[in-house]
Copies of this chain bind each other. A is one copy, B any other.
């Protein structure tokens, strides 16, 4: 499919792409760069990849497809390091959870001969690092593809085929639409989960041990969401701040409405609130989006 794929950043997502692309023979060569020496050693020691280099220029040289699987906040530095080493027509894609800001950054480099085509595989686990990756991570998961304005149509097809080869379902979407939808389906639930856990468990609280012991009543599964990679989430909340603040404001007014109903012991209003969400669940089940096991968009390992 490709002659040389270069993967920049080889944590959970990057190393899963590496494993999946190797398994599915997506490319003759796969070269990997990660700024962490531990990651590089791990990939070599475990024989997951032979071509791990600590020189980012040599890794991207002659690549047909460059995949950035690093935190959003590292994009600028990465592009500064690779821009002069891209020596042929190539496709650059990424795996970031926010698209509009990343697109601005990348377009700013005005790279010639490059098709910039953003990707966002909606997949992950609560673990981080290359040891947590596995080839099946993307199977049956959505990957949203957002082509930059100068991306060649054929290259968009190639990126789509690549994700499908490693098991994903794909959907093409604009950067803006992606960021708005993800602010609702993923960023809002995560923001809220962090605050639920912080509110329920205070380190000095006299009930702390009991709260942990009886956490199966709902709280436990919020701690699962609220334990993902802090750097990744910081970058998401900064890059998608406008959409996230908008939905958090809407959340706050819904919560205030509920608090008012509780204070006033307004039985009808509470029933109305608790009933209103049942239909949405029915639609999710109808849309085939339900699984037997809730997993917060994270595959079990």
Find chain B residues with CB under 8 A from A180 CB. 207
- Indicate the member of A228, A249, A259, A293 with the most B CB atoms within 10 Å: A259
**Residue A80 at the B interface, CB < 8 A?**
no
Q: Is the interface on chain A under 10, 10 to 19, 20 to 34, or 35 or more residues?
A: 35 or more
Find chain B residues with CB under 8 A from A201 CB. 184, 280
**Residue A42 at the B interface, CB < 8 A?**
no
Given A237-B262, A280-B201, are A218 and B211 also a contact pair (CB < 8 Å)? no
Q: Which of chain A's residues 262-301 have a Cβ closer than 8 Å to chain B? A: 262-263, 265, 267, 270-271, 273-278, 280-281, 283-284, 287, 289-297, 300
In chain B, what residue has the closest Cβ to A97?
A: B217
The reply to whether B274 and A194 contact each other, CB–CB distance below 8 Å, is yes
- 15 further contact pairs, Cβ within 8 A, besides A189-B218, A193-B218, A200-B247: A122-B217, A144-B214, A181-B210, A184-B199, A191-B258, A195-B254, A199-B251, A199-B254, A213-B287, A213-B289, A216-B289, A226-B278, A234-B274, A237-B261, A237-B270
